[in-house]
Amino acid sequence: MEAEEHVRDTATVIIGQRVRAGSEAAFKTWQEEINVAASQYAGFLGAQIAAPTAVQPDWVVVYRFDSVANVQAWLNSATRQGWLDRGQQYLDGPATQQVITGGSRPTDQLVTVVVTHRVRPDSIDAFIEWQDRMRLAERKFEGFRGSELFRPIEGVQDEWTALYRYDNAANLFTWLTSTKRQQLLAEGEKFHEFSSHTVDNSFGSWFAFDEKGNEAPPPSDVKTSIAVWVGLYPTVVLIALALAPLKMPLWLGLLVGNLLSSFAMTFVTMPRYVNRLLGRWLRPPPDALELRSNLRGIAVVAGAMAFWVVVFYLVTRQFWTLP
């Protein structure tokens, strides 16, 4: 019961922002600094930045806190306002913002669309009925993974927020451009005052959850870089060995190898090898001593890399010579 209450109390803030052309790199650096500042506030659980995609023209920043009260404390803080004032030079117009409380979270890599509506009090029943028909239509399309509808939050936002998820951008695009959706939008014409954007989880799932499947703050940049290195080295070498007999030219071999490495890192190496091997170092228990945890983590990293170095030396020098 306590776990269920914790899930209901969590709050997610989704912010969409257009960025001036040529300011993308500076914006990302500035936003990462804001996220560090947010991490110092009570209840912070994690943050993620997503660059624009084919289905989402905005940069999207997602914050997760343990309660609406702590979300409000961060959103209304002088710290955040100061950062926003300093970053106006990178921004192209006002941002969109939705706060979502509770609800279920996807456990796999989904593309999530967030739609907000302003609804008059006398139209709420009709709006809910229209959303029900929208949901029934969405679920008939391939790749649909669920939807949720959130009421306005007093003192935080006035809009209703609808979320719906698909397994990939292609299936999402099929729904967005479908005749059925256009028909339903026409039927709900009076609810057309809405905004939407898409959140693509993508590589964010590498470190999104702890060993129990609970959402958790990401490790530090240094730990993340080392963990990716631990996974990338054996992945790249094993794929190189597998592709070697094909004798592809360098430019083609790297193209194919990088594609296979991306899939292997996302679906196999990081979740099944690195996160299990380094889990206690990436996210040590609250009562763990930092120095001891870091020394143990470094020892595990050194041992794992030494193992792979010996294996690949024997394979490529003693048993087989790469062409």
- Number of compact structural domains in the chain: 2
pLDDT of residue 221: 72
Q: What is the share, in percent, of the chain residues with pLDDT greater than 90?
A: 15
| Rounded distance between C-alpha atoms, residue 117 and residue 121, angstroms | 12
Highest mean pLDDT among 57-66, 185-194, 233-242: 233-242
pLDDT of residue 208: 47
Q: Do 17 and 108 share a structural domain?
A: yes
> 87-144: per-residue pLDDT in tens?
889 988 767 777 777 654 444 456 777 787 788 888 888 888 888 888 889 888 888 8
| Rounded distance between C-alpha atoms, residue 57 and residue 92, angstroms | 12
Residue 235, in any domain of the structure: yes
> 251-305: per-residue pLDDT in tens?
898 899 888 988 888 878 887 898 889 888 887 776 678 888 889 999 999 999 9
pLDDT of residue 173: 80
Q: Do 199 and 93 share a structural domain?
A: yes
Q: Do 230 and 201 share a structural domain?
A: no
pLDDT of residue 311: 93
How many CB atoms lie under 10 A from the CB of residue 158? 11
Residue 174, in any domain of the structure: no
Highest mean pLDDT among 19-33, 92-106, 148-162, 198-212: 19-33
pLDDT of residue 18: 85
pLDDT of residue 235: 93
Does the pLDDT of residue 17 top 50, yes or no? yes
111-117, strands of its sheet edge to edge: 144-150, 160-166, 111-117, 194-200
Residue 182, in any domain of the structure: no
96-101, strands of its sheet edge to edge: 44-50, 59-65, 11-17, 96-101
pLDDT of residue 157: 65
Beta-ladder partners of 13 = 63, 99
On whether the CB atoms of residues 117 and 160 are closer than 8 A, the answer is yes
Q: Do 248 and 158 share a structural domain?
A: no
Report the C-alpha dihedral over residues 140, 144, 148, 149, rounded to 10 degrees. -50
Q: Do 64 and 41 share a structural domain?
A: yes
- The contacts of residue 237 (CB under 8 Å, 6+ apart) are 308, 312
| Rounded distance between C-alpha atoms, residue 30 and residue 25, angstroms | 9
Q: What average pLDDT does the chain have?
A: 79
Residue 170 is which amino acid? A
pLDDT of residue 30: 94
pLDDT of residue 143: 84
Residue 230, in any domain of the structure: yes
Residue 256, in any domain of the structure: yes
Q: Do 252 and 201 share a structural domain?
A: no
Residue 175, in any domain of the structure: no
- CATH of residue 44: 3.30.70.100
pLDDT of residue 194: 57
- Expressed as residue numbers, the domain containing 244 is 221-319
| Rounded distance between C-alpha atoms, residue 159 and residue 161, angstroms | 6
Beta-ladder partners of 11 = 65, 101
Residue 290, in any domain of the structure: yes
Q: Do 154 and 268 share a structural domain?
A: no
Q: Do 157 and 21 share a structural domain?
A: yes
Residue 55 is which amino acid? V
Question: 76: which 2 tokens?
Answer: 């209304």
Q: Do 103 and 159 share a structural domain?
A: yes
Residue pointed to by tokens 């649909």: 144
Report DSSP state, residue 320.
-
Residues 238-250 have a mean pLDDT of: 89
Closest alpha carbon to 56 in 202, 190, 216: 202
Residue 34, in any domain of the structure: yes
> 195-226: per-residue pLDDT in tens?
555 555 544 444 444 444 444 556 777 888 89
Does the pLDDT of residue 22 top 50, yes or no? yes
pLDDT of residue 33: 92
Q: Do 244 and 198 share a structural domain?
A: no
pLDDT of residue 28: 92
Mark 198-232 as b/e (b = at least 16 C-beta within 10 Å): bbbbebbbbbbbeeeeeebebbeeebeebbbebbb
